[in-house]
Amino acid sequence: MTADSPATDRRQRRAYRVRRGAPYAFLLPAGVLFVLFFALPIGYAGYLSLRRVEVQGLGLGSGARQEVWAGLANYTDALTDAELLDGALRVLGYGLLVVPTMLGLALLFALLLDAERVGGRRFSRLVIFLPYAVPGVIAALLWGFLYLPSVSPLHYGLDRLGLPQPDLLDGGALFVALANIAVWGGTGFNMLVIYTSLRAIPAEIYEAARLDGCTQAQIAWRIKIPMVTPSLVLTFFFSVIATLQVFSEPTTLRPLTNGIPTDWSPLMKVYQDAFVTGDIHAAAATAVVIAVVILVLSFGFLRVATARTRQEGLR
């Protein structure tokens, strides 16, 4: 018995080390992918943003173009760039159209699907969610041809009826056209998140409300909406981040109209600097600025939402 105890102790220690290291072994592939495809690109972008290309003479010959240290000069140029500021203001106006409309429709559809005596819930959920499965570029092309007067069936119908044909690809109507694409594609996802939260509410709460004489509208306003507030906050975060990163819709519609400049949104400005102008260092600095703004806004919204949730819990 005593002779076997050292071997038994070694096996137990080995089994303990295996159990202790098993979670890290499972996390290792995800950690490697995170480092390779997330951390390293961010670090490299930060490195590029602190450097610039110095051209000597006409820039011809070997050694005429050298990469030198620039410090914060690229960030100073990005923060004082009028084109970037104009793009940010355009995205702000775009977001004021997209976020309230999309979340309002998502909440409305979720409440309608959760109401009593509503038939065809599965089919309705599929129809509302299906646009989210369409890639953004394809959705932009689809709506772009519907907006284009020469091929649009909508313009043809208005022409046959003798009604005015609005140009949705120019002026202020362009914001509505772009917002419509985002709302059409994103409402289904947000609706599904809110609807899932509604289905998790215990039925006993509704029964008690009906016994107290509450109507369906009162139940929706006083019970359902307050109880799905965390889901509304979550979808709000997702919508704001997606709005700040708008790129594919205006880029796809740009060949169809002269109303969309190459720097319509901040990410389009990054693409223009990096792949058209060839100034990868300025593009990296602008990308870092955009990432910091998104991080600060997300953190601020999260703090506000957390504080509000705690206050409601104390009540």
* Domains defined along the chain, listed by start: 5-69 (no CATH), 81-278 (1.10.3720.10)
Q: Would the pTM of this model clear 0.95, i.e. be above it?
A: no
Checking if the pLDDT of 267 tops 90, the result is yes
Distances (CA, A) of 169 to 160, 176, 184, 203, 255: 21, 9, 17, 48, 11
The angle, 0 to 180 degrees and rounded to 10, between the axes of the packed helices 280-314 and 40-49 is 120
CB atoms within 10 A of CB 293: 13
Checking if the pLDDT of 100 tops 70, the result is yes
Residue 116, pLDDT score = 75
Checking if the pLDDT of 285 tops 60, the result is yes
- Tokens 């109880």, residue located: 227
Average pLDDT, integer, range 101-114: 94
Widest CA span of the chain, in angstroms?
102
Nearest 10 degrees: Cα torsion 295, 300, 303, 308? -140
Distances (CA, A) of 49 to 52, 246, 287, 289: 8, 22, 9, 10
- Tokens 């700040």, residue located: 244
CA torsion sign, 45 to 51 to 57 to 63? negative
**Local confidence band at 60 (pLDDT 50, 70, 90 cut-offs):** low
Residue 49, pLDDT score = 93
Coil vs helix vs strand at 68 = strand
- Tokens 């409402």, residue located: 187
Q: Which residues, other chains included, contact 210 with Cβ-Cβ below 8 Å and sequence gap of 6+? A: 219
How far apart CA 136 and CA 240 sit, in angstroms, is 17
Residue 63, pLDDT score = 65
Would you state the structure tokens that stand for residue 140, as one six-digit string?
A: 């932009």
Bridge-partner residues for 69, per DSSP?
A: 51
CB atoms within 10 A of CB 83: 17
Using alpha carbons, select from 156, 149, 142 the residue that is nearest to residue 173: 149
Checking if the pLDDT of 178 tops 60, the result is yes
- What would the pLDDT profile of 110-153 be if each residue is shown by its tens digit? 999 988 777 777 888 889 999 999 998 999 999 998 998 888 88
DSSP conformational letter for 166: -
Q: Give the pairing of strands 51-55 and 65-69.
A: antiparallel
- What would the pLDDT profile of 198-211 be if each residue is shown by its tens digit? 999 998 998 898 88
